[in-house]
């Protein structure tokens, strides 16, 4: 693991878009990434030989945060990089967020098991997750 370095920084727009694409996540336009990334509350990038192979970020303010964009290059998965990024983000949130801050996320598939290790839980039946995509009409 010594050939992987974790940095508390935003990925570049190109790194962000590339990692989302190869991780099978919904594509984001360059314009959206340029607008959204600087508004992140905190972010981490894992680099291997200088190249970004993982990234994760938290969006939000002192009242509510959303864990977003957790992505690891498939060629580098299974090495604990997701756990390293989660630990770093949660540590940073402990430093910057007030005690009553709310942190949420939407877990895809088995990712729920990773997030549970950091205290996240399914809020049902008291609450349910909901979503809406602005300007996008899903066929399903």
Query: Rounded to whole angstroms, how far apart are CA atoms 125 and 30?
Result: 38
Residue 30: exposed, middle, or buried by beta-carbon count in 10 A (0-12, 13-18, 19+)? exposed
- The CATH number given to 4-116 is 3.40.630.30
Picking from 14, 24, 8, the residue whose alpha carbon sits closest to that of residue 71 is 24
DSSP 127: -
Q: What is the pTM of this model?
A: 0.88
Q: Give just the sign of the alpha carbon dihedral 92, 93, 97, 100.
A: negative
Q: Could you tell me the residue ranges of all domains in the chain?
A: 4-116
Report the DSSP beta bridge partners of residue 58: 42, 67
pLDDT digits (tens, 9 = 90+) for 45-73: 999 999 999 999 999 998 999 999 999 99
Band (130; pLDDT cuts 50, 70, 90): confident
What is the pLDDT averaged over residues 9-13?
98
């Amino acid at each position: 693991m010594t050939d992987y370095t974790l940095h508390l920084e935003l990925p570049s727009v190109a790194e962000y878009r590339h990692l989302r694409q190869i991780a099978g996540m919904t594509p984001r336009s360059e314009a959206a990434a340029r607008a959204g990334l600087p508004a992140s509350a905190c972010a981490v990038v894992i680099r291997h030989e200088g190249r970004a192979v993982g990234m994760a970020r938290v969006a939000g303010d002192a009242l509510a945060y959303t864990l977003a964009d957790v992505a690891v290059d498939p060629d580098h998965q299974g090495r604990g990089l997701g756990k390293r990024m989660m630990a770093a983000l949660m540590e940073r949130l402990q430093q910057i967020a007030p005690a009553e801050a709310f942190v949420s996320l939407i877990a895809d598939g088995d990712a729920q098991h990773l997030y549970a290790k950091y205290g996240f839980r399914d809020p049902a039946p008291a609450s349910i997750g909901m979503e809406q995509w602005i300007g996008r009409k899903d066929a399903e």
